[in-house]
Amino acid sequence: MSKLIIDDREIEVSPGTKVIEAAAQLGIMIPRFCYHPALGSVGACRVCAVKFIQGPFKGVQMSCMIDAQDGMVVSTTDEDVADFRRHVIEWLMLHHPHDCPVCDEGGHCLLQDMTVSGGHGIRRYLGKKRTYTDQFLGPLLQHEMNRCIHCYRCSRFYQEYSGYRDLGAMQSANRTYFGRFTDGILESPFSGNLSDICPTGVYTDKPSRYFGRRWDYQRSPSLCINCSLGCHTVASIKYREVKRQEARFSEPVNGYFICDRGRYGFFYSSLESRPRMARINGKQCTFNQAQHAMIEKLEEIKKNSGSAAIAAVGSLRSSLETLVMLAQLCQTKRWRDPACFIDSSQVQNVKTAISRLEPQLRVSLRDIERADFILAVGADPINEAPMLALAMRQAQRNGATIVVIDPRPVSLPFPFLYLPAAPMALSAYLGSLIKAVVNRGTADKMGDGARKFYDRIPEGKKLAEAQPPLSSEMLQSLQQSRRPIIVCGTEILSETVLSLSADFALLLQAAEKQAGLFYLMPGANAFAGGILSGEKDSFLQIIEQIEDGSIRALISVEADPFWWFDDRPRLERALDKIDLLVVLDYLDSQAAQRANIFIPTATFYESGGMLINQEGRVQVAPRALLGGIPISQAGGGDHPPRLYDVGIAGFDPKAAWLTLADLANGAAQEDEKALQQHLWKQISDLIPQLATFSSIDEIPQEGIVCSCGVNIDSRFSINWSAASNIRHDSGDDFDLIEVDWTFGTEELSSLSPCLWKLERKPCLVMHSGRAEIIGLTDVDLVEISTETGSLEAELRTADNMAPGILVLPRHRKLAWQIFTPGKIRIRKDQIRKKQ
């Protein structure tokens, strides 16, 4: 620890802390442009000057460049430095355009703040201003290079921090330019962060361009529900419309940044097409009418066919409140248990993951940055959970070895070792990895079960022949690692691999490593869905029961089976067969359009609530806005209506759980507080870690990691004989896997018009060798036909993927729902080249 004095106040900081940070701990905000806690110091802007009065340095120095040391006496207010800073600002402003009124940064511009606080007011420079031509950088960012003060934050973030290379510094001296070599869409899915970190208005948010000023926005902390990581965001609302989203710092989760899917994935909440009115059989009606009709109809069905004839579907994008309320509703009404997942393998995967996330194993996203070895199994970070890739990039920058074992072609913005492996082969790989780095004695330390497990690991001979072998580099760095982390997806793997990964992590811990385990999950609140679902509760099961006539009514809560159910015709048939389809949602989904009774609900921004991310972290977002039709729509683009005292139009929708509570009680409930308390009790019963809090407001900002559902008995219990039964790849058929892409496959962000340009063209991906065999080449248009239908898409071939695999993105532009749920196998004669 070093002790120093800043502005007559003493502070003790850990070694390596910069003076600028030490001052911040005292609450002294030293001006800065180039320094950023996540990006470190470069000393480019010279505005953080302080005066060192005593200690190893003397005189005016940059506080971001100097480590705090014992005996330092620092002044930030000394006349010399104040004057120095004033001059620096004046230099920086020499060429600054006369732009503030038309600059979107104005109002939260660091340069404005510093100029005003530094005391530079009147321009003395008489020369001409340097100008730059701007570039088109895609639909997310507006470029205005004149405003640059050359702090290098952008290029450091873009290249060093996130690993992309298409934007950076060019030229030198007074001509330094930040941009791309030519105009074009930025490649990084983290580019939106540039608008947060650029201290001036060079990169400004394009979707909210010229919409408002920071001071006019209602800014509310929120959470991203576009993947399972649950990154922290700030939602900016103006005129009843979420208009912009920024990253919110969170120590354990996303740090300072968020990805573009999250940043721009909010447009669904204020689409003009968003249904604000309830509907009965497609006809608009009041909220109360629809609610009455729903209650009545359900009563009727219960009378005729019994309460077990009613089933409910939950959604992985619903809040914990809604899911718990739904589960409780089904229980008290004796309906079927709600289904949140598509089929039983999905439930089981999530449930397995939850049961294996033991407290000593699970790690946060932040811990990933500190890992020195990361093994990603069946996970495609950039596509499934982009911020994971950014965290892995930090680990990689710090020297970690990254290994990805996956059937898909995986790309990451940094070097990593890649092993293409069919999902079936993954357990074998893991087995041999275990054998390679953990010895029997270590396994023995974990007890009998572990030893038996270890002994049963089949030899990987067969594997070595058929698949690319584990490289020695990989094995060596794993052996030497101190903090290895296993990252594991739950979408395309079997439950065995998930278990195996956890067992592997346990064994690594037994081998005295600080090993960690990190699962990805299929939705923002999949963890909660997993806790609340039974082993068998799946949508597929509901469909089967509709088909055999035992289910007569279906309530879908913020879920759209049309989006994710594999077999659309079958779904349609099933929905035709039932007597009643009730849909509660805030999207105008296909299910909503078909519903007999549709009741609009509030978005997550409008209701707030709790989410459990893939780590088991219960996080809370407050209500960010009340709701209602945005002014821009109410006024039709022109000024808002000239009326007063008419209430808020489109204010009907309320949080789904409130509607469910009304349904549970058979009538509209007045006392929201009491309901909330009741619900809180249910939730804290479900999640014991919450029992110490008396209400949702007490949950700390970084959330509470819960361990409900952990089951230690499931350690080392996998069935090796089944797992090692690797199907020989005959070359005649393909295992089809449905995957996510960063843009275009996720339900909510797919509704953001600004992201459409970033979506890749939907395509099927196949190994190039296989394609050759069946006479297909890259960019061929192919058709896959199944019993239920056919699908047309471009074919892309890739070398770096498992050969027996066909990759299909669940792209919004692709009507891909033509398969039988479960394991999908496509014979090569089902694939045809289209002319």
Work out whether 84 is an interface residue with ligand SF4 (CB under 6 A).
no
Residue 109 binding result from another protein, ligand FES, ligand SF4, none, given CB thresholds of 5 to 8 Å by partner type: ligand SF4
Tell me which of 40, 210, 667, 688 binds another protein, using CB under 8 A: 210
43 interface partner picked from ligand SF4, ligand FES, another protein, none, CB below 5 to 8 A per type: ligand FES
Is 35 an interacting residue with respect to ligand FES (CB under 6 A)?
A: yes
**Among ligand FES, ligand SF4, another protein, none, residue 200 binds (CB under 5-8 Å by kind):** ligand SF4
Which amino acid is it at 27? G
Instruction: Tell which one of 19, 64, 365, 618 touches ligand FES (CB under 6 A).
Output: 64
Please say which residue, 123 or 440, places its beta carbon nearer to another protein.
Answer: 123
Sketch the per residue contact string, 181 through 210, with ligand SF4: x for CB under 6 A, - otherwise.
-----------------xxxxx--------
What span, in angstroms and rounded, lies between the C-alpha atoms of 150 and 161?
17
What backbone torsions phi and psi does residue 3 show, to the nearest 5 degrees? -110, 130
**Is residue 639 close enough to count as binding another protein by CB under 8 A?**
yes
Task: List the single partner that 153 binds among another protein, ligand FES, ligand SF4, none, CB under 5 to 8 Å by kind.
Answer: ligand SF4
State both tokens at 475.
């094995």
Q: Establish if 130 lies at the interface with another protein (CB under 8 A).
A: yes
DSSP state of 161: I
For ligand FES, which is the closer residue by CB, 47 or 584? 47
By CB under 8 A, tell whether 100 contacts another protein.
yes
Sketch the per residue contact string, 59 through 98, with another protein: x for CB under 8 A, - otherwise. --------------------------------------xx
Q: Is 157 in the site for ligand FES (CB under 6 A)?
A: no
Which one of the spans 146-154, 220-228, 504-512, 802-810 is the region binding ligand SF4 (CB under 6 A)? 146-154
Q: Tokens for 196, please give them.
A: 């947060």
**What is the sign, positive or negative, of the torsion defined by CA atoms of 538, 539, 540, 545?**
positive
Give the position of tokens 């699970």: 362
Pick out residues in 512-541 that bind another protein (CB under 8 A).
none
Residue 99 as a binder of another protein (CB under 8 A): the answer is yes
How far is it, in rounded angstroms, from Cα 321 to Cα 341? 17
Is residue 644 part of the contact set for another protein (CB under 8 A)?
A: yes
Helix (H, G, I), strand (E, B) or coil at 136: strand
Of residues 47 and 587, the one with the C-beta less far from ligand FES: 47
152 is a site residue for ligand SF4 (CB under 6 A): yes
Contact between 216 and 238 (Cβ < 8 Å): yes
Q: Which of ligand SF4, ligand FES, another protein, none lies near 365, with the C-beta cut-off 5 to 8 A by kind?
A: none
Which residue in the set 9, 58, 129, 482 belongs to the binding site for another protein (CB under 8 A)? Answer: 129
Q: Is 636 in the site for another protein (CB under 8 A)?
A: no
* Residue 105 is a binding residue for ligand SF4 (CB under 6 A): yes
Taking CB within 5 to 8 Å according to partner kind, which of ligand FES, another protein, ligand SF4, none is near residue 177?
A: another protein
- What residue has token string 């299910």? 591
Interaction of residue 630 with another protein, rule CB under 8 A: no
Chosen from ligand SF4, another protein, ligand FES, none, partner binding at 131 (C-beta under 5 to 8 Å by type):
another protein
**237: contact with ligand FES by CB under 6 A:** no
Q: Is residue 376 within the footprint of ligand FES (CB under 6 A)?
A: no
Q: What's at 241, amino acid-wise? A: E
Per CB under 8 A, does 215 bind another protein?
A: yes
Pairing of strands 141-143, 203-205: antiparallel
Contact characters 759-798, another protein, x per CB under 8 A: ----------------------------------------
178 binds ligand FES (CB under 6 A): no
Which residues, including other chains, have CB under 8 Å from residue 98's CB and lie 6 or more apart?
none
Q: How many residues bind ligand FES (CB under 6 A)?
A: 12
Which range binds ligand SF4 by CB under 6 A, 82-90, 149-157, 272-280, 479-487?
A: 149-157
Among 6, 23, 28, 47, binds ligand FES (CB under 6 A): 47
Residue 33 or residue 563: which is nearer to ligand FES going by CB? 33
Look at the block and give the residue holding tokens 């806790």: 531
CA distance 154 to 167: 8
Considering only residues 19, 45, 81, 664, which one is a binding residue for ligand FES as defined by CB under 6 A? 45
Question: What 3-state class would DSSP assign to 6?
Answer: strand
Q: Which two tokens stand for residue 181?
A: 């070599």
Does 106 sit near ligand SF4 (CB under 6 A)? yes
Decide if 800 contacts 418 (C-beta within 8 A): yes
Sign of the Cα pseudo-torsion (775, 781, 783, 784, in order)? positive
Interaction between residue 565 and another protein (CB under 8 A): no
Among 155, 632, 724, 797, binds another protein (CB under 8 A): 632
- 43 scored as a contact of ligand FES (CB under 6 A): yes
- Measured distance CA(436)–CA(470) in Å, rounded: 10
678 backbone dihedrals φ, ψ, rounded to 5°: -60, -45
Residues 6+ apart with CB under 8 A from 366: 251, 252, 253, 255, 391
Q: Does 109 bind ligand SF4 (CB under 6 A)?
A: yes
Judged by beta carbon, residue 100 or residue 668, the one nearer ligand SF4 is 100
- What are 821-824's contacts with CB under 8 Å, separation 24+? 821/342, 821/343, 821/540, 821/565, 821/566, 821/567, 822/343, 822/345, 822/540, 823/735, 824/566, 824/735, 824/736, 824/737, 824/738
Which of 100, 436, 475, 774 is close enough to bind ligand SF4 by CB under 6 A? 100
Using alpha carbons, select from 588, 552, 662 the residue that is nearest to residue 290. Answer: 662
Q: Is 22 in the site for ligand FES (CB under 6 A)?
A: no
Residues with Cβ within 8 Å of residue 159, at least 6 apart in sequence = 165, 167, 168
Query: Please, what is the minimum distance in Å from the beta carbon of residue 45 to ligand FES?
Result: 3
How far is it, in rounded angstroms, from Cα 608 to Cα 623?
4
**DSSP state at residue 358:** -
- The first and second tokens of residue 55, run together, are 């200690």
Pick one of 46, 243, 244, 483: the residue that binds ligand FES (CB under 6 A).
46
Residue type, 211: F
Q: How do 580-585 and 553-557 pair as beta strands?
A: parallel
Is 134 one of the binding residues for ligand SF4 (CB under 6 A)?
Answer: no
- Determine the Cα–Cα distance for residues 257 and 263; give it in Å rounded to an integer: 10
Q: What residues pair up with 553 in beta bridges, in sequence order?
A: 310, 580
Do residues 744 and 811 touch, judged by C-beta distance below 8 A?
yes
From the list ligand FES, another protein, ligand SF4, none, partner contacted by residue 46 (C-beta under 5 to 8 A by kind): ligand FES
- Residue 171 touching another protein (CB under 8 A): yes
In terms of Cα–Cα distance, which of 769, 768, 804 is closest to 424? 804
Rounded Cα distance between 537 and 563, Å, is 19
Distance between CA 193 and CA 197 in Å, rounded?
Answer: 6
Complex with ligand SF4: residue 120 or 393, whichever CB lies closer: 120
CA distances from 296 to 289, 293, 304, 557 (A): 10, 5, 12, 18
Which one of ligand SF4, another protein, ligand FES, none is in contact with 644 (Cβ closer than 5 to 8 A by kind)? another protein
Query: Which uninterrupted H or E stretch holds 697?
Result: none
Q: How long a stretch of residues is the chain?
A: 835
Q: How far is CA 61 from CA 43, 69, 344, 572, in A?
A: 10, 14, 63, 71
Site of interaction with another protein (CB under 8 A) = 97-102, 106-107, 127-134, 144, 146-147, 170-171, 174-175, 177, 179, 209-213, 215-216, 239, 631-632, 635, 637-640, 642, 644
Site of interaction with ligand FES (CB under 6 A) = 32-35, 43-48, 62, 64
Site of interaction with ligand SF4 (CB under 6 A) = 96, 99-101, 103, 105-106, 109, 111-112, 147-154, 178, 198-202
